[in-house]
Amino acid sequence: MVDLLSNFINNKVVPAGGAPETLAVTSPHTGETIAQVPMSTATDVDAAVAAAEAAFGEWSGMTLKARAAVLLRLYNRLQAHADELAELVEREHGKTRTEAQGDVAKGLETLEFAIALPHTAAGHVETVSRGVQCRDERVALGVVAAIVPFNFPFMVPFWTLPIALGMGNTCVLKPSEKVPLTMSRVCALAADILPPGVLNIVHGDRRAAAALVEHSAVRALTFVGTSAVAEQIHARAAVLGKRVLALGGAKNHLVALPDCDVEMTAQDVVSSFTGCAGERCMAASVLLVVGDQPALIDRIVAKARALRPSGDAAAGDTAPAMGPVIDTAALQRIEDAVAGAEAAGVTVLLDGRQAAQFTARRADSGGFWIGPSVLHHQSAKDHAMHSEIFGPVLSVLHCASPDDALAVENANEYGNAACVYTSSGAAAEYFSQRFQAAMIGVNIGVPVPREPFSFGGINRSRFGAGDITGDAAVEFFSYRRKITTKWAVSLEKSWMS
């Protein structure tokens, strides 16, 4: 018998109302059910939003410094439980232990940034003319809702929560129904630190998400997921007058120039497209090879082939490893993508469907295991070159010149990340200024900005204005109140005259 999770409202565990539908939470490693998550209704959402709304006045009325002190206590608590949280991430998502630890560490980094808000988000005061002074101050919006995906159970919720809370908002989070355990534990750890109603969780599927979008008391909304859904949520929330930032998918391009360091480039490309089993919006999807570089392709294929399924104690902790994908649907989607490419005439240099160690692990464990695949294309128009597979699949295309590679990347409808591998500073600058992506890497295949730099894409990777972390998030989760004052000059003479 596995546990049925409950919502978290007003710092209390609150079962979903009535006799809710439930969904099995499965371990990607084994396929076994590890929990049941309730499909909360609009009534449950109402209760969570009402709690957040009731808590807003007192929480937003605290000074920024006082809220930061509360967040510091939360940081210390979560840091003390970082290993436990990483174990939950590994268990419910399937990441390797190192990846799970990174998930938690990167989320805590955003919390560190929020703790520093008293130093970075203070208002300004200036005398603008004789006797006239202007000042501005940041004002919280109200209730903020966050709808997050499965691929980073800790980090992605923490793209929203720390800065939104630090700026004085209260929050309602809907975790992915595929990975609800980590954030449920976070709320339990926060229950005696955050005031009641400041942070609430409602579990569920698209119906709970829709109820949050539609709720009149939700003033701002963040979403991370596919571009199709991000676009829909942005359009609907905007019509309702909400502030909304919806991050979508990606098709990230890497460019390898002839002067790249072959060994470093090969290792970085493999780490980029296979890390987190390719289930991240910053993963490499396409490698554009300028000129004839057979040694580079050979090393990429060899390094990808050497990966083993994670959790193999006999191989040792230092052996290169990759975890399973999230569920059966993801497994089928990836297999279909490779099969479709092969049927269309694309050369399969490495076929993850037939990776012996991964297929054996799947057969033995019942988990959702598949090896990495490398596809060699002849045309940029191939379906796999422009569709988001969201798995450990790399498409390789040769380009005659650097500008040909740029033309392929620029035609991409998304705009999250791009990277160039080169030994030339001039070439790095040339590509950095011409890529159509918001996060650029030079010899770094997963160019995620570190705090205080903000995270966010362009084009169909982002719907709404600004980024979701850093100083852009400070802007998003508050508005500026501008106050201009003028005082009459006293005509009364005194010893102070």
CA distance 349 to 221: 43
Rg (CA), the chain: 25
Contact (CB, 8 A) for 184 and 119: no
Q: Where are the beta strands (DSSP E) in 315-379?
A: 321-322, 347-350, 373-377
Sheet arrangement for strand 132-140: 125-129, 132-140, 478-486
In the chain, what are the helix, strand and coil shares in percent, each to the nearest 5?
40, 20, 35
**How far apart, in whole angstroms, are the C-alpha atoms of residue 219 and residue 57?**
14
């949520």: which residue's tokens? Answer: 233
Decide: residue 261, CB within 10 A, 0-12 exposed, 13-18 middle, 19+ buried: middle
Looking at the DSSP assignment, which residues form a beta bridge with residue 479? 139
φ/ψ (deg, to 5) at 425:
-65, -35
Q: Is 187 a catalytic site residue? A: no
CB atoms within 10 A of CB 292: 11
Q: Return the structure tokens found at 199.
A: 């942070």
Give burial (CB, 10 Å; 0-12/13-18/19+) of 482.
exposed
497, HSE (Cβ side, Cα atoms, 13 Å) = 7
Q: Which of 260, 281, 399, 419 is catalytic?
A: 281
Across 146-159, b (16+ Cβ under 10 Å) vs e yields: bbbbbbbbbbbbbb
Angle 328-330-332 (CA atoms, 0-180°, nearest 5)? Answer: 70
Residue with tokens 């500073």: 425
CB burial string 409-445: b at 16+ within 10 A, e below: beebebbbbbbbbbeeeebbebbeebbbbbbbbebbb
Residue type, 464: G
* Cα separation values, 54 from 195, 197, 403, 483, Å: 11, 7, 56, 27
State the chain's maximal CA–CA distance in angstroms: 94
Q: Give the SS3 label for residue 14.
A: strand
Length of the chain: 497
Active site amino acids: 281
